[in-house]
Structure 1
Amino acid sequence: MRLDISEIIREPGKSAHYTVHEPPLVDEDIECTDDIIGQLDFINTGDALLLRGSCDTCVMLPCSRCCTYYQQPVSLVIEEQFELRAISTGPRSLPHIVVVEEDESPIAGKLFDGNVFDLTEMLRQYILLNQPTQPLPPQHKDLCSLCHRRPEEALAELRSEQDIEPSGHPAFARLRELLEEQP
């Protein structure tokens, strides 16, 4: 979504509220599973354009242990400040144009095209920044942290795979054999 914020940039003290309801983003770095919902406020302070708000969505992430994909809720707290600069259009008596100064780094995604704000690019950047670096699915009470099953389920599967008697822990099977050999 691209927002024309010319009016806000032109008048110091002007503000605008936007309700965000964007479809899920899907690209090479992000796969959202839910719509991006939230709110944003643009405020012209005269010297800067402030952008504040919050948005929520869910993304698909691979578990850092087993690479199984799961849904991770992501909450974005957005706080940005862009410098405003006046450019003269002619002699001093003529009006000037106010433009947004943006980071010129080649790796930074462009958020502004003149006075048009690229909301989709900003949301993409914030989602990338708010994803966990080592994603793990949420842990549930009394479930194994590795396989997310109850310990008795994992043990039952291990017994059936190794065809071991159900009495005692499989790790102590050899010890049980030695004890049974004793007179």
Structure 2
Amino acid sequence: MLSFNVAQLEKGLVGATRDYQIDDSLTVEGVSVNVKGEIKFTRTPRSVLVKADFKTILPQECCRCLDEYQCPLEVRFEEEYLPTLDVTSGLPLDIEEAAENFTIDEHHILDLSDALRQYIILSQPMKPLCRADCPGINTKQ
């Protein structure tokens, strides 16, 4: 599950943390992939800071031989999630940067799916190779 209720963390002291181990699936560019890793949530004065370290395997097409292979990826990121409601009063918060950042929804749910999907896409190799010594397309029959 890549969605977390962070209401108690938001009510906590600045610097409070929560650690989680993740083993879940996620759809990336139409393909379901398994993601395993660790996340750490840290309460800051205005947000929840997420530090994530994940591993996954994504099907890729080799740029030399055009065969499909399973490409292991390591994904690390830090992102700030801004609350949209005050956790105590329930009133909407007027945060100008909310449109440009990841947010915590009105039910105090922090959803990592979109950030993780974006970072997996960014982590893909520009020229995927099935192996370093791939000879390329074999034209001899």
- Give TM-score, length-normalised by structure 1: 0.60
User: In structure 1, which of residues 13, 16, 29 is the aligned counterpart of residue 15 of structure 2?
Assistant: 13
Evaluate the alpha carbon distance shift between residue 60 and residue 86 of structure 1 in structure 2; reply closer, same or farther with a 3 A threshold. closer
C-alpha distance in 2, partners of 1:51/1:5?
11
**Correspondence for 1:150:** none
C-alpha distance in 2, partners of 1:6/1:86?
10
User: In structure 1, which of residues 119, 130, 140 is the aligned counterpart of residue 112 of structure 2?
Assistant: 119
Question: SS at the partner of 2:31?
Answer: coil
How much has 1:83 moved relative to structure 2?
4.6
User: In structure 2, which of residues 94, 99, 114 is the aligned counterpart of residue 104 of structure 1?
Assistant: 99
**Correspondence for 1:70:** 69
Question: SS at the partner of 1:117?
Answer: strand
C-alpha distance in 1, partners of 2:74/2:109?
25
Considering Cα pairs closer than 8 Å and 6+ residues apart, tell me whether 1 or 2 has the greater RCO: 2
**AA partner of residue 113 (structure 1):** D
How much has 1:5 moved relative to structure 2?
0.8
C-alpha distance in 2, partners of 1:84/1:121?
16
> Identity percentage over the alignment?
23
Structure with greater helix percent:
1
* Cα contact 1:38–1:56 (8 A) shared by 2: yes
C-alpha distance in 1, partners of 2:19/2:8?
13
**Correspondence for 2:126:** 133
Cα deviation 1:122-160 (Å, max 9, x = unaligned): 2212111111223222214xx52x14xxxxxx6xx84xx
Question: SS at the partner of 1:136?
Answer: coil
Structure with greater strand percent:
2
How much has 1:69 moved relative to structure 2?
1.4
C-alpha distance in 1, partners of 2:119/2:77?
8
* Cα contact 1:47–1:85 (8 A) shared by 2: no
**Correspondence for 1:3:** 4
C-alpha distance in 2, partners of 1:131/1:16?
29
Structure of greater Rg: 1
Evaluate the alpha carbon distance shift between residue 48 and residue 126 of structure 1 in structure 2; reply closer, same or farther with a 3 A threshold. same
User: CA-atom RMSD, angstroms?
Assistant: 3.2
Unaligned runs of 5+ in 1: 90-94, 148-153, 162-183
Question: SS at the partner of 1:13?
Answer: coil
Q: How many residues align?
A: 136
